[in-house]
């Protein structure tokens, strides 16, 4: 059961380095959780989303959801960052991006460098 705990780690914490910048999050702070952000976009455009993902102890799995529609489930191993990407068409003036941990337990799903960029 999730207790809505998302840990923010600084690069070097527990020997993990951020994939970009100096901070990243662990979505399994106290069980599987999710992180969501709503961004302003241009309706009728296509956007490329990407997220860097790393397992903490084992293979970990996340699901990426844009405007309520799953973009897929993605796994990553510990020790190296994997980048997952996709393209989505947006019909409204806002897009909501959710990254949801799918693993039980309190160790896993490190996430960094989430991007949502309009394709010209």
The CATH number of whichever domain residue 23 belongs to comes to 2.60.120.260
For residue 28, being part of any structural domain is answered with yes
For residue 1, being part of any structural domain is answered with no
Pick the more confident residue, 105 or 48. 48
Structural domains of the chain, count: 1
Return mean pLDDT, the chain: 93
For residue 2, being part of any structural domain is answered with no
3-state secondary structure of 10: strand
For the beta carbon of residue 113, count every other beta carbon within 10 angstroms.
15
pLDDT at 3: 54
Rounded Cα distance, 47 and 86, in Å? 8
What tokens appear for 119 in the block?
Answer: 């394709």
Band (pLDDT 50/70/90 cuts) for residue 120 is confident
Phi-psi region of 113 (alpha: psi -120 to 50; beta: other; left: phi over 0): left
Band (pLDDT 50/70/90 cuts) for residue 4 is low
Residue 24 lies in domain: 7-118
1 pLDDT exceeds 50? no
């Amino acid at each position: 059961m999730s207790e809505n705990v998302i840990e923010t780690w600084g690069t070097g914490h527990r020997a993990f380095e951020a994939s970009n910048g100096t901070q990243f999050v662990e979505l399994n702070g106290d069980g599987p959780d999710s992180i969501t952000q709503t961004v302003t976009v241009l309706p009728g455009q296509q956007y490329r989303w990407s997220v860097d993902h790393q397992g903490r102890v084992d293979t970990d799995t996340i699901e990426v959801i844009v405007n309520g529609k799953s973009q897929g489930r993605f796994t990553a191993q510990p020790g190296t960052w994997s980048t997952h990407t996709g393209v989505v068409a947006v019909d409204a003036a806002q897009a909501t991006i959710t990254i949801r941990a799918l693993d039980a337990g309190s160790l896993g799903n490190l996430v960094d460098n989430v991007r949502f960029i309009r394709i010209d």
